[in-house]
Structure 1
Amino acid sequence: MRICLILEGSYPYTHGGVSSWTHQMISAMKEHEFVLWVIGPRAKDKGNYYYELPKNVVKVKEVFLDDALRIKPDRKKLPSMKEEEKEALKALLDCEHPNWEVLLHLFQDEHINPSSFLMSQEFLDVLQMLCNTKYPYVPFASTFHTMRSMLLPVLYMMMQKVPKADVYHTICTGYAGIMALTGGYKTGKPVLLTEHGIYSREREEEIIRANWVQPAFKRQWIKFFYMLSDAIYTRAIKITSLFDRAMKTQIELGADPSKCSIIPNGIRYENFCNIPLKPEDGKIDIAAVVRIAQIKDIKSLIYAFHELRSKRNDVRLHILGGVDEDEYNEECINLVDTLGLKQDIIFAGQVNVMEYMKKIDFTILTSISEGQPLSVLESLAARRPCVTTDVGCCRDLLEGGPGDQFGVAGFLAPPMHREGIAHAMDRMCRSSSEREKMGEIGRQRVEAYFRHEEMIKLYEELYRSVI
């Protein structure tokens, strides 16, 4: 079987949850061929992979968002558009369930140049109508450039040459979802969706906080990403998520319940279950196994640790992971310096987590949004309890989901709540015997429900069911 995995902003360029999941799955399914159809932000990253690709990766097709900006309009006049094509364009600009098959025909079969299209009279006519109804008090130039920047990447995805495969499996909605639609449209092969986090909700959170989006257009950008999610929810033959609440959210957002199922993450339990606990040495070592990125909210972690450090002088924080966002990383380092914590916070970078875990008493995760974090599963398998924000599946991992009677393996705090995070860390620091008890509960939970081999078995069954 040849499986096309469609990824956006993750494997093979970066480390972290989705990338680790992808690499482990490909490596485990040696009998299948994999095509990677991957979206990155910058063409300068071409071929610059964080991972050494497994031998059963037979093709990598890279698509870069900044290449869309380099498409030059051709001088040929665009063919006149049919009424259904104009309607599809209007619905696309309105973010109101466009006819994707009509749009795919234009850009995949008719090979319409996206830059030419966005300078055409047809586009300007529809845009003017939108300005009159939605943005009468916003300068036309602002609306034009916003809509152009919104649509150009999507049109660019729809014009991509489709690699051959037996199934197209996208690992998020968004731009990757549109490429999966393109693959299914062009080949007639089945399309699958697996969401680790709810992409549209994550984009909404980013846009609300973003400075680059003019306030007048924030609602439109949010609506745009929900439209992209709806496109793949509607057309995927099977939709999987990692846990029950995520599946319910997908259904609330329009996914057909009959298509939806849950395949939990799994880790190689045997790699972590025998890591010895850290000997008592007068210090309590806390680790955040995390990419340094805004969505992981490292700043709230630093502030919370500062508050904890004001109460206790026996704590150290280790931040284990690479840098996703250079500017944010610099801000975090400066914050540590400003708060006088350089001696107490260690930026260890990318490390061998299994080896480093020997130095750690418990772990912490302060993300604003999560799916089912592998770092928490690995920590629990190693008998290290966790403090996490109450996002994604973290509550189920620490307290147990339906039918789970093991008990509590850590403490939760509200996202972005520094005092709550600090209080949870302080509770975890109070008793080594309680940490050992919670760590053992976490180990049992992972052994029972989150094994890598079981996850692979379920994805094998999923692929067989649609081929």
Structure 2
Amino acid sequence: MRVCLILEGSYPYTNGGVSSWMNQYIKAMPDIEFVLWVIADKAEKKGKYKYELAPNVVEVNEVFLDDALKMKAGKEVKYNFTPSQREALANLMECNSTSWEDLCYLFQDLRINPSEFLMSEDFLSILTELCEKNYPNAAFADTFHTIRSMMIPIFYLLGREVPKADIYHTICTGYGGLLGVLGHYKYKKPLILSEHGIYSREREEEIIRAKWVQPAFKKQWIKFFYMLSDAVYKRAKYVTSLFTNARIAQIELGADPDKCIVISNGIHYDRFKDIPLKKENGIIDIGAVIRMAQIKDVKTMIYSFAELTHMMQNVRLHILGGVDEEDYNIECHELVKHLGLKEGENILFPGQVNVVEYMEQLDFTILTSISEGQPLSVLESMAARRPCVTTEVGCCRELLEGAPGDDLGIVGFCVPPMHREALANEMYKMCQNRKMRLEMGEIGQRRVDLYYRHPEMIEKYKKLYYN
């Protein structure tokens, strides 16, 4: 069995939840050969992996989106598109549901040069019709550059050489999902989608806040990513999610309910279950196992911790993990200084650490993400008998309070995303009651033991491969 795993912006280039999950996933299936088809933003990352690849990774195919900007046009070309092909291109540029089979044929089989097409009269003709229909009041130049910037990576990816495999398994929709569609088209093999978060909705949240997108085109960019998700939902043999509400969201977005399966994350419970509780030393130590990235909303964490220090003394925050976004990392450190916190004393940035070893220093953990699926860091904290305070994103409330049928009890508190005061108050409540923390810790460990073990998760995915 040879499985092509398709990833975007994560393993093996970055640390973090999805990357760690993927690394453990591959190692847990030594009897399966894995081909990696991975997308990163910049070609300078080529071969620069954060992980040592397992022996059963037999091939790595790297795709870099900035290479799409280096494509050069040749001669001027006049195309003789069929009505179906022209309609597919027009629907694509309008970000509507389209015939990906026609598009794959054009760029994979006919080998259309993306740069030549983007400079052609055919492209200009389709774009002009789109402008007259949807953007009569927008400057043509703005529409041209917006649509062109959407199409460049799509056309580039559709022309990539496709690695052979028995199954194409993409870990997201978006650009990674598009490669999954391409593999399914090229070799007529099954496609599986496993979403850790609802990619299209995450992109929508980013675009709404984004300053680089002109207001007139935000709706178009949002449609663009929903269109890419729809392409995978319609063609996947199985669509997996991590929790019930995510499955419901996939169905709402067009996935066939009969193909949608919930497979919860699992962790190596035995690695965490015997970690000693922290000895009392007069200080309450709070840990955050995250990446330094905007989606983790570290700034809200720092603001809330600053408020907590005004409510009580002898409290310390440990922000653990690597740096994904250097500019954001610098801003977070500057915020620490601005708020009068003492780096190295009441707030620490140890960087990438051995979480199992470091957990001994912590009383409880926090997570302030704006978006999550089913965070491994919360499961690991629970397995180690550390309760949690999290934002109410993904399935965090389900982890802390139990899924339907799970009446074990509560193992932490959920607060609205970006709510500094609520986060500070719940951290204060957790700090003030050691007996409650210990009771929650015991419940959390039992929950992970019963429902979130890694071997059971792996068996469920293997059944999809062999079914």
Q: TM-score, normalised by structure 2?
A: 0.99
Give the Cα–Cα distance (whole angstroms) in 2 for the partners of residues 463 and 131 of structure 1: 45
Q: Secondary structure of the equivalent of 1:255?
A: coil
1:446 shift after superposition: 0.2
Match for 1:79: what amino acid? Y
Give the Cα–Cα distance (whole angstroms) in 2 for the partners of residues 78 and 197 of structure 1: 42
1:220-231 matches, cutoff 5 A: 220-231=220-231
**2:464 counterpart residue number:** 462
**1:300-331 alpha-carbon deviations (Å, 9 max, x no partner):** 11111111111111110000000010111111
1:277 shift after superposition: 0.2
Give the Cα–Cα distance (whole angstroms) in 2 for the partners of residues 38 and 195 of structure 1: 16
- Structure 2 residue 453 is matched with structure 1 residue 451: yes
**2:308 counterpart residue number:** 308
Match for 2:437: what amino acid? R
- Structure 2 residue 353 is matched with structure 1 residue 346: no
Residue in structure 2 matching 1:415, options 414, 417, 420 = 417
**2:168 counterpart residue number:** 168
**2:194 counterpart residue number:** 194
Give the Cα–Cα distance (whole angstroms) in 1 for the partners of residues 79 and 92 of structure 2: 19
Give the Cα–Cα distance (whole angstroms) in 2 for the partners of residues 151 and 328 of structure 1: 29
**1:382 counterpart residue number:** 384
Asked whether the equivalents of residues 162 and 183 of structure 1 are also in contact (C-alpha less than 8 Å), the reply is: yes
1:95-114 matches, cutoff 5 A: 95-114=95-114
1:270-419 matches, cutoff 5 A: 270-342=270-342, 343-419=345-421
1:96 shift after superposition: 1.1
1:76 shift after superposition: 4.9
Match for 1:176: what amino acid? G
Residue 133 to residue 79, structure 1, CA distance change in 2 (3 Å): closer
Runs of 5+ in structure 2 lacking a partner? none
**1:377-432 alpha-carbon deviations (Å, 9 max, x no partner):** 00000000000000101001000001101100000100011111111111111111
1:140 shift after superposition: 1.0
1:283 shift after superposition: 0.3
Give the Cα–Cα distance (whole angstroms) in 1 for the partners of residues 387 and 167 of structure 2: 39
**2:242 counterpart residue number:** 242
Match for 1:456: what amino acid? I
Residue 76 to residue 128, structure 1, CA distance change in 2 (3 Å): closer
Match for 1:2: what amino acid? R
Q: Secondary structure of the equivalent of 2:372?
A: coil
Q: Secondary structure of the equivalent of 2:10?
A: coil
Alignment RMSD (CA, Å): 0.7
- Structure 2 residue 42 is matched with structure 1 residue 42: yes
1:78 shift after superposition: 4.0
**2:5 counterpart residue number:** 5
Asked whether the equivalents of residues 78 and 122 of structure 2 are also in contact (C-alpha less than 8 Å), the reply is: no
Asked whether the equivalents of residues 78 and 116 of structure 1 are also in contact (C-alpha less than 8 Å), the reply is: no
Match for 2:461: what amino acid? Y
1:129 shift after superposition: 1.2
Runs of 5+ in structure 1 lacking a partner? none
Asked whether the equivalents of residues 79 and 122 of structure 2 are also in contact (C-alpha less than 8 Å), the reply is: no
**1:216 counterpart residue number:** 216
Give the Cα–Cα distance (whole angstroms) in 2 for the partners of residues 301 and 145 of structure 1: 38
Residue 76 to residue 126, structure 1, CA distance change in 2 (3 Å): closer
Q: Secondary structure of the equivalent of 1:69?
A: helix
**1:35-72 alpha-carbon deviations (Å, 9 max, x no partner):** 00000000000000000000100000000000000000
**1:4-54 alpha-carbon deviations (Å, 9 max, x no partner):** 000000000011111111100100100110000000000000000000000
Q: Secondary structure of the equivalent of 2:70?
A: coil
**1:324-377 alpha-carbon deviations (Å, 9 max, x no partner):** 101111110100111011232111100000000000000000000000000000
Match for 1:63: what amino acid? V
State how many pairs are aligned: 465
Give the Cα–Cα distance (whole angstroms) in 2 for the partners of residues 154 and 433 of structure 1: 55
- Structure 2 residue 466 is matched with structure 1 residue 428: no
Give the Cα–Cα distance (whole angstroms) in 1 for the partners of residues 314 and 201 of structure 2: 38
1:148-159 matches, cutoff 5 A: 148-159=148-159
**1:64 counterpart residue number:** 64
**2:136 counterpart residue number:** 136
Give the Cα–Cα distance (whole angstroms) in 2 for the partners of residues 219 and 263 of structure 1: 32
Asked whether the equivalents of residues 88 and 102 of structure 1 are also in contact (C-alpha less than 8 Å), the reply is: yes
Match for 1:377: what amino acid? L
Q: Alignment identity in percent?
A: 63
- Please list every run of at least 4 consecutive aligned residues from structure 1 whose deviation after the TM superposition is greater than 2 angstroms: none
Match for 2:375: what amino acid? P
Give the Cα–Cα distance (whole angstroms) in 2 for the partners of residues 133 and 332 of structure 1: 45
1:451 shift after superposition: 0.2
1:115 shift after superposition: 1.1
Match for 1:451: what amino acid? R
**1:243-281 alpha-carbon deviations (Å, 9 max, x no partner):** 000000000000000101011100000000000000000
Match for 1:24: what amino acid? Q
**1:22 counterpart residue number:** 22
1:83 shift after superposition: 1.3
Asked whether the equivalents of residues 88 and 99 of structure 2 are also in contact (C-alpha less than 8 Å), the reply is: yes
Match for 1:62: what amino acid? E
Asked whether the equivalents of residues 174 and 229 of structure 1 are also in contact (C-alpha less than 8 Å), the reply is: yes
Asked whether the equivalents of residues 78 and 121 of structure 2 are also in contact (C-alpha less than 8 Å), the reply is: no
Asked whether the equivalents of residues 387 and 424 of structure 1 are also in contact (C-alpha less than 8 Å), the reply is: yes
Give the Cα–Cα distance (whole angstroms) in 2 for the partners of residues 65 and 189 of structure 1: 25
1:79 shift after superposition: 2.8
Give the Cα–Cα distance (whole angstroms) in 2 for the partners of residues 126 and 194 of structure 1: 34
Give the Cα–Cα distance (whole angstroms) in 2 for the partners of residues 406 and 314 of structure 1: 32
Match for 1:429: what amino acid? C
Match for 1:291: what amino acid? R
Match for 2:111: what amino acid? H
Asked whether the equivalents of residues 283 and 316 of structure 2 are also in contact (C-alpha less than 8 Å), the reply is: yes
Give the Cα–Cα distance (whole angstroms) in 1 for the partners of residues 431 and 320 of structure 2: 20
Give the Cα–Cα distance (whole angstroms) in 2 for the partners of residues 150 and 76 of structure 1: 22
Give the Cα–Cα distance (whole angstroms) in 1 for the partners of residues 121 and 235 of structure 2: 31
Q: TM-score, normalised by structure 1?
A: 0.99
